[in-house]
Amino acid sequence: MTRELANAVVPGALHRMRGRENPSGKLPVTFPKRLEDTAPYAPGHPERHAPQAAPGTSGTNANAPLVTYSEGLAVGYRWLDQEGIEPLFAFGHGLSYTRFEYSGLTVTPRTSGADVTVTVRNVGPVRGSEVVQMYAGSPSILAAFQRIELAAGESRLVTQHVSAATAVLTRKSVAVR
């Protein structure tokens, strides 16, 4: 069994290590440069450092203390974006053996929100996958995303729908990353 597994895994790993195949992974979280860059350590949120409420006074777990999250939706990448803090590695960051260019962004209003369309082109030397991410507002809220695979030199028109609920929640512009 070990030999069969090695024969199945090793060729793909070697192709990725030599740059013949693109791993195309993206981070699902943001890594701050310093712990002090996160909301719990911000001066405007002293409740994290105050004495906690007695167990049994909040939530469904009778033994859990009450914790206040006064930053609201501004957690993770949203907090860093709102505060203008550059992360060590951003949500959606990925390493690649190829590069992608975005062009021709259009936003078409709909009664249910808006359709956001952009052309994505693989300008690198190898086939690769890209996650086209649509953000709305400030702080940014991930409104839509789609993974596409493109051969070297290939282009594709990508359209994603941003719901009216997201547009109302953010009341701001839409960006593509």
Name the region of 77 (left: φ>0; alpha: ψ -120 to 50; beta: rest).
alpha
Domain ranges in the chain are 26-95, 97-177
The pTM assigned to this predicted structure is 0.67
d(CA 10, CA 128): 19
Q: Does domain 97-177 have CATH number 1.10.3720.10?
A: no
Mean pLDDT of 10-31: 69
Q: Which residue is it, tokens 């995303």?
A: 145
- CB atoms under 10 Å from CB of 37, counted, come to 18
Mean pLDDT of 28-35: 90
Q: Which pLDDT belongs to residue 114?
A: 87
Question: At 176, is the pLDDT very low, low, confident or very high (cuts 50, 70, 90)?
Answer: low
Distances (CA, A) of 89 to 10, 86, 133, 174: 28, 9, 16, 22
Q: Which pLDDT belongs to residue 89?
A: 92
Q: How do residues 131-142 score in pLDDT, each as one tens digit? A: 898 887 766 778
Q: Which residue has the higher pLDDT, 1 or 34?
A: 34
Q: How do residues 84-115 score in pLDDT, each as one tens digit? A: 999 999 888 887 888 999 999 998 888 888 89
Question: At 71, is the pLDDT very low, low, confident or very high (cuts 50, 70, 90)?
Answer: confident
Mean pLDDT of 48-69: 60
Q: Which pLDDT belongs to residue 36?
A: 87
Question: At 40, is the pLDDT very low, low, confident or very high (cuts 50, 70, 90)?
Answer: confident
